[in-house]
Amino acid sequence: MKRLGLAILGIWLVCFPLYGQNAVVAPEPIAARLGMQILEQGGNAVDAAVAIGFALAVTYPQAGNIGGGGFAMVYRPGNEPVALDFRETAPWAAGKDMYLDKKGQVIPGASTLSARSAGVPGTVRGMRELWRCYGHLPWAKLLEPAIKLAKRGHRISLYQHRAILRHLKKLSADADSRRVFCPYGNALAPNAIWHQLALSKTLNRIASHGDREFYRGQTARDFVKELKKKGGIITLSDLENYRAVWRTPVHVAFNGDDLYLMPLPSSGGIVIGEILGMLGNFNYHKLKPDNAETIHLLAEMEKRAYADRNTYLGGPDCFPVYWQRLLAPAYLKKRAREIHLDHATPSSQVLSGLGPVGKSGLMLKESPQTTSYAVMDANGNCVSITYTLNGSFGNGILLKNTGILLNNEMDDFSAKPGSPNLYGLVGGISNAIEPGKRMLSSMTPTIVLRNGRFRMALGSPGGSTIITTVLQTYLNLSLFSMDTTQAMNAPRFHHQWLPDEIRLEPELWKNQKLVEKLKELGQNPHKARGLGNAVIIFQSSNGKVEAVADPRGSGIALSR
């Protein structure tokens, strides 16, 4: 009887896992701890995610923001995950040739460093929409920690000091940014107490009046007035008309899992879906991690998926994107047949699979300076968020009276078909600039279920490498059965079609046999620094929850 009882208990735990653990993974320790405090004060995962989002705008300004935008994936037990798109949009004064000179050539820095590089911010409306639909605690309480941090100040970490130093030239080019980040002519020093009084007042108004303050109130008026002085083109009408949009996630089944991935304007879900769909046509259970043959096979799939990304994908509200055709089993089988296990196909010979769409080009290069975080509460609710200013510290322009740092997300459009942007991705007319359009992204917050139960939440920054980071982290956990620490620490690689090279993290690059084998297969390996800065929240079949932060960054994971 005792054995029978234990067996029944085991079956019950698998079918109905015990919750009871709060978990937070975030790229900055102060914000992560504040998120845990919100959970311990009775808030749910959405409450904590909103509080972290605003706190990161204060403590992690290179990517945390209220002047940018992003995506969220939300899971509630017993329900399929849902996706929230709060990506920036192009102002109505924007146009497809806005960054070109009279000769039709891209003006250097116009889409990255000028005030005209800013898209209409979506973060505040996105956070408010998350809270409106699923939040529990009062709105003002969720902003209170960020307000206090901005007003009373917080200590600059060595990591933040170095980030400011790396981007000192950009931050020094704008008088208001220079005053905030480089007082007395020097970058904020480690352990210095950093006060952001203008930002604290802005956050306080948002706490009192909600998102309408940011989009229609005093903050909106100050935002537009100051931005116009600096050459920006966002208007009050642009702000008033901005909406966060609930979208249906891309659903992909693989290896017994159900992956729920971001849909357009994120390309991440479609690209990962293509790669996993192609992988299903091979005997993938025999693959081994950190193996030249495995890396070769995945790289060949990545080439084809990224080629399709750059040709066909763009903002779904302004351009007809029939992305379902890219995930059709027959199409993916056809693409898989193009792959040779014994030699690489040069990227110049890898074409988009459905035929041309106008003028396609190379790849848009997105900034790696994004931030990703995830939260799970004791009731099993989970939120995975990735949001950004695009480049580190956005375009480096700060609006003095609001304390808001501007994004340079307009660079994620195709300034000119075939012309690479800030990070080497090159796009075609599907991602051309249009008023009100959302620019294509690689941000990929992800929720994975198995048998209808939560299994993991994933995400990462990294621009175009976000997709391959999330993919490889997932494969490490699901296909290669690594534990969470092994899955996070495993070396990563990346291929994005153009340029035609495999980027290998140092641990892989040091493996000369692997590098030589890749060369024999016709690949073009290159050494890369750390790829991504992933987050993992993983729940085992017995209900145990593990949270892991990436050692490549400065974040922390908390669970209790």
Q: Is the pLDDT of residue 299 over 60?
A: yes
Q: Is the pLDDT of residue 54 over 60?
A: yes
* Residue 73 in tokens: 């994936």
pLDDT digit string, tens, across residues 186-198 = 999 999 999 999 9
Confidence of residue 315 (pLDDT cuts 50, 70, 90): confident
Active-site residues, by number, are 370
Of 307, 308, 323, nearest in space to 264 by CA: 323
Residues 6+ apart with CB under 8 A from 337: 281
Q: Is the pLDDT of residue 428 over 70?
A: no
Q: Is the pLDDT of residue 15 over 90?
A: no
Q: Is the pLDDT of residue 473 over 60?
A: yes
Residues 6+ apart with CB under 8 A from 103: none
- CB of 412 closer than 8 Å to CB of 404: no
Confidence of residue 354 (pLDDT cuts 50, 70, 90): confident
State how far the Cα of 416 lies from the Cα of 402, in Å rounded to an integer: 33
End-to-end CA distance of the chain: 34
Confidence of residue 164 (pLDDT cuts 50, 70, 90): very high
The pLDDT value given to residue 256: 98
Confidence of residue 427 (pLDDT cuts 50, 70, 90): low
State how far the Cα of 141 lies from the Cα of 363, in Å rounded to an integer: 42
Q: Is the pLDDT of residue 46 over 90?
A: yes
The pLDDT value given to residue 423: 43
Q: Is the pLDDT of residue 9 over 60?
A: no
State how far the Cα of 283 lies from the Cα of 188, in Å rounded to an integer: 53
